[in-house]
Structure 1
Amino acid sequence: MTRRFSPKSLLIACCLLTLSMGAFAAPDGTISDKLLQAFNRTFPDAQQVKWAETEDRYMVNFKQGDILTKVEYDKEGNFVSSLRYYSEKNLPVNILCRLQKKYADKKVFGVTEVTTEASVEYYVKLEDAENWITVKSNVDGIMQVVEKYKKAS
């Protein structure tokens, strides 16, 4: 299945996500000291840290080097999931090598790493002159195309 995709729609989606996070901003002092201490031990180099709260979750967005990260915790402070956004240089070597072999004619635009208690998956956005392709990979390097869009002309 091929769909039309434009960078404008990606920009709009990112803006909406950013605005919706602001709607759930937690007032100062609602994050427990225990959770803050655990976060600071786990991510000592975190910069631009922003906490948010929903009815059943705490979310923290931050940057470590050139990696943007979002971590979700439950109300008891237990890890639920994380999203990390980065370039191909941060991919595990086994996945990077397989991508370069299987998609040699494509350029890596960006990577989204999705981690839960049960798994780690990598969504790699590839591009060529005509298409955007998203390839999903597990930690073993087993890959499948999950999206394919024609670039807008």
Structure 2
Amino acid sequence: MKHLLGLLAAGLLLSASASAQKMKAAQVPAVVMASFNRQFPQAKEVKWEKEADQYEAGFEQGKQELSVLLDPSGKLVETETEIKVDQLPAAVRATLARQYKGVKIKEAAKIVAAGTGAVTYEAEIVQGGKNVDLLFDAEGREVKK
């Protein structure tokens, strides 16, 4: 029994470390912060997280909720804009209805890669009591992160 509890605790620690870590603005490297402030001077209520070696800023700009991912040098990697679920492309909604029958879509977003301009769509669903993020291209094909 102790062995099982130890394995469970180790698994929880590993899964917690794999997810994004919240951080204070003062912990964000100066070069990343300067780049963000230059590119998004109108950002309000900015919340920072670290994902692997990149920095994510979630914020409001006007009436939109955005998040951006920046690399350690401050270069923009991607921009994610929250959209209404009914704004997901029809092909994405059809795939969700077919492959994830009866699952509720909580949130949706449009993600644009900074370097290529490639667009993907994110649908956050509740599956098995957990929030799961799924990515799709505009044709409704599921994309791996």
TM-score in terms of structure 2 length: 0.49
State the structure with bigger RCO (CA 8 A, min sep 6), 1 or 2: 1
